[in-house]
Structure 1
Amino acid sequence: MRKTILITGASSGLGAGMARVWAAKGHDLALTARRVERLEALKADLEAAYPSIRVVVHALDVDDHEQVFAVFKAAAADLGGLDRVVVNAGIGKGGRIGTGRFEANRETVQTNFVAALAQCEAAMEHFYERRSGHLVVISSVSAMRGMPGSMTTYAATKAGLAHLAEGIRSDLVNRKGHDIAVSAIFPGYIASEMNDQVEQKPKGMVDTVTGSKALVAAIDSEKPERIVPSWPWRPLAFVLRHAPLGIVRRMV
């Protein structure tokens, strides 16, 4: 069992949801995010409900790359090493390309890809030292194709993140004597703080608790790639990959 787990973006939404599921399963957790007061409240809840686990919290702005490396090292020292790192922190800003939203699109690239790269670097350095570990990146079903409008940059960052994970996994193929796994998880529409302001909820959206349980089950399987929830997102992902762009536009 991957006993100790670090989750970025753990102060709310899916990050907090996954933390609750893993805490119930007896895992020790390192929770990171910018909003430390929320992390402290979550830590108190989890330790009260599950007295046998350890929970540590660290303030982390993933766009501060030096801080990423420092916090990962500190969390590893707190828990005696990290068995799994979940690269979950991300944002959903953006606008249609060419409409004056460059700054929002740039911020999305910075947080969802460049900062994720820093997290992957820090995690893999630790795993290479230990010759063991599980790197998990949270991509998106939107990564299956180029998306229109405000989703264009977001989807591109999530596609890039999935390819980053695959490249890291490729480096492990011929390595012997290690227990390192790399997984890319592609969630469909799961309710979270990122999308709770959207007036018209997308079809197929599941609640945070259901989505968090599905994510944890997919991650625990340690498969290279998983689409969650499986229904209806696995068949929809196939359609997204292969349908003409006109159909893709009507699906999102």
Structure 2
Amino acid sequence: MTRQKILITGASSGLGAGMARQFAAKGRDLALCARRAENLEELKAELTATYPSITVAVAALDVNDHEAVPKVFQELSEELGGVDTVIVNAGIGKGYPIGGGKPWHNIATIETNLVSALVQIETAMAMFKAAGRGHLVLVSSVLGNKGVPGVKAAYAASKAGVTSLGESLRAEYPSGPIKITVLEPGYIESEMTAKSNSTMLMVDNETGVKAMVEAIEKEKGRAVVPGWPWWPLVELMKVLPPKYTKRFA
């Protein structure tokens, strides 16, 4: 099934902006939201100039403003004439070693990546139930498969929660008009990974996002992206003793 109208959160840069560009090239109409409204307007101008046949709606949204999420989703849906797919992508990569005296970094990561993701999921699922169809895409991470020490501990925990929510929804909606996809990106070039000390197996934004978009278009239930070499590495991570997971930090 081709989903024509796609809403992406966290779309002002990184993976969100990358997905917007690739979906625009496929002729999809887009509803884009993020905190940085100026970046969204620039992206909208770029996409509509390059692909004049598509519709691009943008709105400022801080996903931690939980009351704003359903309002903005509804406004964007109305502007686009409905939404077929919601991609829960907004997230941050803050972190500090647990017990190191800066708990607010980890709290912010859990709040944005997990609690606010749940608010977006609740909103999207309510919209899809009302419409009788839809495709929910959750952007998790390969690090959601295993605890990771140090600064990425809270990030890994937040993404494990996102993956678990996706698995729960896949069990609840195993077939039918509402589809659930959980994406587990490896290290893909973005603003977030630029702040990371790890460059292991990093792929460029275009390559990584292409794998994400392909998995979304195929409506896979779960996809590690890019598949090679990350799929076998994820299976290895699951069985590694905890002391070895620092290699992925």
* TM bucket normalised to smaller: over 0.9
Q: Could you list the per-position Cα deviations for residues 72-103 of structure 1 after superposition, in whole angstroms to 9, with x for gaps in the alignment?
A: 11111111111000000000001111111211
- RMSD across aligned positions (CA): 1.1
Following the alignment from structure 1 to structure 2, what is the Cα–Cα distance between the partners of residues 250 and 50?
A: 42
Deviation at 1:244, TM superposition (A): 1.3
Q: Does 1:195 align with 2:193?
A: yes
Counterpart for residue 228 of structure 2: 231
Counterpart for residue 32 of structure 1: 33
Identity %: 52
- 2:243 counterpart (221, 239, 246): 246
Counterpart for residue 52 of structure 1: 53
**Counterpart AA for 1:120:** I
Deviation at 1:201, TM superposition (A): 4.4
Determine helix, strand or coil for the equivalent of 1:58. strand
**Counterpart AA for 2:208:** G
Counterpart for residue 120 of structure 1: 121
Determine helix, strand or coil for the equivalent of 2:247. helix
Counterpart for residue 8 of structure 1: 9
Following the alignment from structure 1 to structure 2, what is the Cα–Cα distance between the partners of residues 246 and 171?
A: 35
| Equivalent pair of 2:98/2:150 in contact (CA under 8 Å) | yes
Following the alignment from structure 2 to structure 1, what is the Cα–Cα distance between the partners of residues 167 and 193?
A: 27
Counterpart for residue 104 of structure 2: 103
Unaligned runs of 5+ in 1: none
Counterpart for residue 184 of structure 1: 182
**Counterpart AA for 2:28:** H
Q: How does 1:147-162 map to 2 (within 5 A)?
A: 147-162=148-163
The alignment of Structure 1 onto Structure 2 pairs a total of residues equal to 248
Q: Could you list the per-position Cα deviations for residues 124-172 of structure 1 after superposition, in whole angstroms to 9, with x for gaps in the alignment?
A: 0000011110000000000111110001100000000011111122222
Q: Could you list the per-position Cα deviations for residues 92-119 of structure 1 after superposition, in whole angstroms to 9, with x for gaps in the alignment?
A: 0011111112111100011000100000
Following the alignment from structure 1 to structure 2, what is the Cα–Cα distance between the partners of residues 79 and 125?
A: 17
Deviation at 1:246, TM superposition (A): 2.4
Following the alignment from structure 1 to structure 2, what is the Cα–Cα distance between the partners of residues 239 and 248?
A: 10
Provide TM-score, normalisation by structure 2: 0.97
Determine helix, strand or coil for the equivalent of 1:137. strand
Unaligned runs of 5+ in 2: none
Determine helix, strand or coil for the equivalent of 1:195. helix
Determine helix, strand or coil for the equivalent of 1:183. strand
Moved beyond 6 Å, runs of 4+: none
Following the alignment from structure 2 to structure 1, what is the Cα–Cα distance between the partners of residues 14 and 71?
A: 24
Q: Could you list the per-position Cα deviations for residues 184-229 of structure 1 after superposition, in whole angstroms to 9, with x for gaps in the alignment?
A: 100000010112234x542210011111111101111111100000
